[in-house]
Amino acid sequence: MGSASPEGTAGLGPAYAAARARLGLVAALFAVAAVAWVWTAHEMRGMDAGPWTGLGSLGWFLGIWVVMMAAMMLPSVAPTVSLYTRITKERSPLSPWLFTAGYLLTWAVAGLAAYVLGLVATSVAGGTLAWDRAGHALAATTLLVAAGYELTPLKDICLSKCRSPLGALLGSWREGLTGAVRMGARNGAWCVGCCWALMASLFALGVMSVFWMALVAGIIAVEKTLPWRRGVTYATVVLLAAIGILLLVAPDALPWLTVPSSGTMPMG
């Protein structure tokens, strides 16, 4: 057998180095996610008040929300960041991190919207949203709506952009460091469209619960990465619907659910 020619192997050095750099980037994103999980678990210790847990001050909530999103989302978005790094002409080491920052910025805006919605709902509805009145029915309905959203065309389109991001990236390409932020934010918008109902379910189960946070993060990661797309979707529908029904008829039967005390106000 003949040996490989020098011409055939000349380009392997730079390509190998680039592949190693992308692998290192993915490892770094996973490391950041791990640190975010540890920090979040420490900060949220003893704060889980069950469905519609109070969100505290705006600054505190947004701070912990962004760290939560880093913990939950960075593992599943890491392949997209790696793909962006591979095809961009911008070779600055800041580019992938600015892309990631743009992605998290979109989720920060989504968190702000959730916070405002919670305040408005509490102000308008008042005591009718207490757990022993309409609170448990609202939590159950949220889970059932999330189950139904899994089967909608909009969910399918957004999930397609998250699972196969190449077309979405090339269709909205922006060069430069500001372009990296804009493209990350755009990718984050597709992700919000894909996952908003699952995040609403997290609020309905206890946004300060590490267990429910991990469950929702696991569902998101499975939906975005496993090849059996329709099977995963149907399994998610069944799981969300089952939890929603239990919330409605027998919340005490749900393990790891903190049932609010009588009269507790949501989002207070």
Quick one: pLDDT at residue 52?
86
Answer whether residue 6 is part of any domain.
no
Question: What are the tokens at 22?
Answer: 């992308």
pLDDT digits (tens, 9 = 90+) for 35-50: 999 999 999 988 888 8
Question: pTM of the entire structure?
Answer: 0.89
Domain-located, residue 2: no
Write out the residue range of the structural domain in which residue 31 sits. Answer: 12-253
Burial environment of residue 98 by CB neighbours within 10 A (0 to 12, 13 to 18, 19 or more): buried
Q: Are 265 and 130 in contact (CB under 8 A)?
A: yes
Quote the pLDDT of residue 6. 47
Q: What is the pLDDT of residues 204-213, one digit of tens each?
A: 999 999 999 9
Residue 267 lies in a domain: no
Domain for residue 259, yes or no? no
Distance of alpha carbon 61 from alpha carbon 19, whole angstroms? 38
Give the pLDDT band (50/70/90) at residue 9.
very low
**Domain count for the chain:** 1
Write the pLDDT tens digit of every residue in 231-249: 999 999 999 999 999 999 9
| Per-residue pLDDT tens over the stretch 166-206 | 888 888 888 889 999 999 999 999 999 999 999 999 999 99
